[in-house]
């Protein structure tokens, strides 16, 4: 009898499937401008990025910290100038969030202080992407350090409010969402972001809310950068002649008794404000 050899069927071997690792998306605060104010964690994120989407206010020196191979995409926008719509920025982030790339969304200051980081975070979460957030030094904090004017002071200011001076679209804010009368207790500091265009309206509104028109104001342009400029004035100056401050964006405006404290470094003072601030300082003494 002939026995036919029996060949066992070879087991099917499934082709290996290499799942594409999920994209890594990181919202990074670049700080106010000076690259040395970038956090170590933010620096590490920048140096591991494959793609960086950066804002208009991110200093070029910060971008130079990235590796040469990194793709850098400018998605900046400034009030009153042509720029990216927020929806388009969301779509661009999502378009690059595949293939296991590390994407850094680089924002001036801190992503969650008037940086619309919350909106981008929501869009990425809705798309099923995990997001890491690395904070940055926000402009008000950097301005306080640069001028050596504290935002809080045991005798002069016990609370601080961060206020946006930008309205919806390209309009000016009405400041109706905040009770400025309640903050008029002589123990409060207001730090106004994006307030150059609305500085006149801010001064008028503060006076209407009962703030003393002689209250000191300290405006700082280009905080932490080589072109930093400081101007001291009063709320009356804001209301009656904001153009005399000759402010340029980006600038942070500090309002309150602490704004009358001595400032480290160069300081421009409006003539009208000099006498009033000295009188005010004598009254506080």
pTM greater than the 0.75 cutoff:
yes
Give the residue extent of every domain in the chain. Answer: 24-137, 140-284
CA distance 36 to 93: 27
Give the range with max mean pLDDT: 3-7, 20-24, 78-82, 260-264: 260-264
Beta pairing class for 188-193 and 251-255: antiparallel
Nearest-10 Cα torsion for 85, 88, 90, 94: -160
Is pLDDT at 72 greater than 50 in this prediction? yes
CA of 282: how far to CAs of 151, 255, 257, in Å?
A: 20, 18, 12
Average pLDDT, the chain: 87
| DSSP state for residue 88 in the 8-state scheme | H
Instruction: Tell me the per-residue pLDDT of 97-112, one tens digit each, with 9 for 90 and over.
Output: 877 789 999 999 999 9
| DSSP state for residue 187 in the 8-state scheme | S
Identify the weakest region by mean pLDDT among 78-82, 86-90, 104-108.
78-82
CA distance 46 to 172: 35
Is pLDDT at 95 greater than 70 in this prediction? yes
Residue 110 structure tokens: 């801190």
Residue 207 structure tokens: 């006076």
- The pLDDT of residue 81 is 60
**pLDDT bracket for residue 282 (50, 70, 90):** very low
Please state which CATH number belongs to domain 140-284.
3.30.950.10
Residues 50, 56, 77, 212: which is the catalytic one? 77
**Would you call 50 a catalytic residue per the annotation?**
no
Is pLDDT at 216 greater than 80 in this prediction? yes
Is pLDDT at 18 greater than 50 in this prediction? no
CA distance 202 to 95: 40
Instruction: Tell me the per-residue pLDDT of 170-199, one tens digit each, with 9 for 90 and over.
Output: 567 778 889 999 999 999 999 999 999 999
| DSSP state for residue 173 in the 8-state scheme | P
Residues 34, 55, 59, 110: which is the catalytic one? 55
Is pLDDT at 245 greater than 80 in this prediction? yes
CA atoms within 13 A on the CB side of 247: 31
Q: Please name the helix (run of DSSP H) or strand (run of DSSP E) that holds residue 40, with its range, or none.
A: helix 40-47
Is pLDDT at 47 greater than 70 in this prediction? yes
Please state which CATH number belongs to domain 24-137.
3.40.1010.10
Q: Is 107 helix (H, G, I), strand (E, B) or coil?
A: strand
**Would you call 212 a catalytic residue per the annotation?**
no
C-beta neighbour count of 4 within 10 angstroms: 5
CA atoms within 13 A on the CB side of 215: 29
């Amino acid at each position: 009898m002939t026995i036919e050899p029996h060949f066992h069927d070879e087991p099917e071997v499934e082709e290996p499937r290499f799942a594409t690792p999920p994209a890594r998306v990181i919202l990074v605060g670049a700080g106010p401008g000076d690259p040395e104010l970038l956090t170590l964690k933010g620096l590490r994120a920048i140096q591991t990025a494959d793609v960086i989407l950066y804002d208009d206010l991110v200093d070029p020196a910060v971008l130079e910290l990235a590796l040469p191979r990194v793709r850098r995409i400018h998605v900046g926008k400034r009030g009153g100038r042509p720029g990216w719509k927020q929806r388009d920025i969301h779509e661009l982030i999502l378009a690059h969030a595949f293939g296991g790339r590390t994407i850094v969304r680089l924002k001036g200051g801190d992503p969650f202080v008037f940086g619309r980081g919350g909106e981008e975070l929501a869009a990425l979460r809705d798309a099923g992407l995990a997001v890491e957030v690395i904070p940055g030094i926000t402009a008000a904090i950097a301005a306080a350090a640069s001028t050596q004017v504290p935002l809080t002071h045991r005798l002069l200011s016990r609370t601080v409010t961060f206020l946006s001076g930008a309205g919806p679209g390209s309009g000016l804010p009405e400041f109706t969402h905040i009770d400025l009368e309640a903050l008029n207790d002589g123990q409060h500091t207001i730090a106004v972001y994006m307030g150059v265009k609305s500085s006149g309206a801010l001064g008028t509104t503060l006076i209407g809310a009962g703030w003393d028109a002689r209250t000191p104001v300290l405006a700082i342009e280009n905080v932490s950068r080589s072109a930093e400029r400081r101007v001291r004035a009063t709320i009356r100056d804001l209301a009656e002649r904001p153009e005399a401050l000759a402010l340029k964006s980006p600038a942070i405006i500090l309002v309150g008794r602490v704004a009358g404290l001595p400032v480290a470094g160069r300081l421009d003072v409006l003539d009208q404000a000099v006498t009033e601030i000295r009188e005010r300082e004598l009254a506080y003494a």
